[in-house]
Amino acid sequence: MQNSSRTEVGDGGACTDTSIGEQYLDPSLDPKFSRLRELLCSSDGWEKSWEEGTIPWDLGKPTPVVVHLVQKQSLPKGRVLVPGCGTGYDVVALAGPDRYAVGLDMSGTAIEKAKELWASSPNSECFSFLNKDFFNWNPAEQFDLMFDYTFFCALEQALRSAWAMKVGEILKPEGELITLIWVITDQKEGPPFKNDVSDYEEVLFPLGFKQIYIEDNELAVNTRKGREKLVRWKRSRNQSNQLSKC
């Protein structure tokens, strides 16, 4: 799906001959991320990035740890949401007879691409793609599981509390949130914006979410190795979406 090419980069960059999304350790050295940041100065920046194929985050395959979790059968069954799903690899990987997956993206081009790519997938009855803005979307039915990978870190920091509130609304009371966190501490700009486990805790703890699992992601792709954390969260029973008053 993506071009393979070999690119030389300066100090601090990693050069491999794998897919575009794996070439650079530091996104700020990656011309594709620079271009993405330029595009995102306009309100339809995500759409433009998809239209011109500036999608440097895209691994061109399902996220390896997602495949692993599915194979281990360690994920909740029921309905799963992947917000900011892009090409939808993880949506299709999560979908199966026991788990109906919904991929959501605000870019119409991304959703068209995903629909076309996966139309004849053998499990096509078990997933769907929706062209919606996560923040303005009110699903008719809540979800048992939500998987976030490079969506939170793609959002302006000012949107993080709204992200957490929406997660709280969308998940069933016993639902689970899985965040695969690409830890970024050294970027002045974004996306990906600076984000660490503490940034998620800051917005999720006040809503009653608890960490039930945290581990370094040993299955991260080359340039993200040692920089990813898999964190699983659950909300306490009966916790409302209101921020605590004290």
Ligand X SMILES: C[S@@+](CC[C@H](N)C(=O)[O-])C[C@H]1O[C@@H](n2cnc3c(N)ncnc32)[C@H](O)[C@@H]1O
Which residues would be at the binding site for ligand X (CB under 6 A)?
Answer: 46, 57-58, 83-86, 104-107, 110, 133-135, 149-151, 154, 191
Shorter beta-carbon distance to ligand X: residue 181 or 208: 181
**Torsion sign, CA atoms 181, 182, 187, 190:** negative
Shorter beta-carbon distance to ligand X: residue 85 or 207: 85
- Cβ atoms of 197 and 233 within 8 Å: the answer is no
Shortest gap between Cβ of 81 and ligand X (angstroms)? Answer: 11
53: left (phi over 0), alpha (psi -120 to 50) or beta: left
CA 27 remoteness from chain centre: 16
Shorter beta-carbon distance to ligand X: residue 2 or 16: 2
Shortest gap between Cβ of 192 and ligand X (angstroms)? Answer: 7
Q: Nearest 5°: CA angle at 43, between 37 and 48?
A: 65
CA 151 remoteness from chain centre: 4
Shortest gap between Cβ of 15 and ligand X (angstroms)? Answer: 22
Shorter beta-carbon distance to ligand X: residue 106 or 171: 106
Shortest gap between Cβ of 11 and ligand X (angstroms)? Answer: 25
Q: Which residue sits closest to ligand X, CB atoms considered? A: 84
